[in-house]
């Protein structure tokens, strides 16, 4: 029979799995409590970094429809439940791992799909959503300016031709 505290922990983890836009699994072996605190601060309000028992996390992942995460829930595993932008959380983990070699990104899940460690690295290398939207808007604006110039060009050429003919007739007269 399951103990009430474990049932409550599984329920809480299941809710975190379901409400998160992404989940990133890391191995934290060798990190001190101070370093984990620093990592949580680096993740900010964008993510919740939790250390959970692998069996409880595995049960919660299965209940949330992310059973593929169970294979990576071995050894000392901590989970980053991302509620904000997944790119920002992946960047925070990548940057922290550069300074602290003990942190290893194992895998993750985003939108119900498994992310390998390499996919999480690629996610971290992406620019933020705001930057990508700004680039897209800039590209669209440039095309609109180009189109406006193309529509305006024939009229400008016509005016220049008429002015040149008028000058030629004035000089001839």
CA 104/CA 77 separation, integer angstroms: 10
Secondary structure (DSSP) of 85-101: -HHHHHHHHHHHHHH-T
Determine phi and psi for 83, rounding to 5 degrees: -105, -20
pLDDT of the residue at 1 = 43
pLDDT, averaged across the chain = 85
CA 95/CA 39 separation, integer angstroms: 10
Low-confidence spans in the chain with pLDDT less than 50 = 1
- CA distances 145 to 21, 137, 153, 160, Å, are 37, 12, 12, 22
CA 19/CA 81 separation, integer angstroms: 9
pLDDT of the residue at 112 = 82
CA 104/CA 78 separation, integer angstroms: 10
CA 126/CA 136 separation, integer angstroms: 14
Q: In 3D, which of 43, 19, 62 has the Cα closest to residue 105?
A: 43
Residue 77 and residue 26 in contact, taking contact as beta carbons nearer than 8 Å: yes
Predicted confidence (pLDDT) per residue in 92-123, tens digit: 888 888 888 888 888 888 888 888 888 888 88
pLDDT of the residue at 127 = 76
């Amino acid at each position: 029979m399951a103990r009430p505290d474990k049932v409550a922990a599984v329920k809480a983890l299941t809710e975190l799995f379901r409400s998160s836009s992404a989940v990133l699994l890391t191995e934290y072996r060798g990190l001190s409590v101070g370093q984990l605190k620093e990592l949580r601060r680096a993740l900010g309000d964008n993510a919740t970094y939790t250390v959970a028992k692998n069996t409880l996390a595995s049960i919660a992942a299965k209940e949330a429809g992310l059973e593929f995460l169970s294979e990576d829930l071995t050894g000392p595993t901590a989970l980053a439940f991302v509620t904000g932008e997944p790119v920002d959380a992946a960047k925070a983990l990548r940057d922290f791992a550069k300074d602290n070699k003990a942190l290893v990104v194992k895998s993750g899940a985003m939108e119900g799909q498994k992310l390998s460690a390499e996919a999480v690295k690629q996610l971290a290398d992406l620019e933020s959503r705001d930057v990508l939207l700004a680039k897209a808007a800039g590209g669209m604006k440039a095309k609109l300016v180009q189109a406006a110039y193309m529509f305006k060009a024939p009229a400008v050429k016509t005016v220049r031709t008429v002015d040149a003919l008028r000058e030629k007739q004035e000089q001839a007269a």
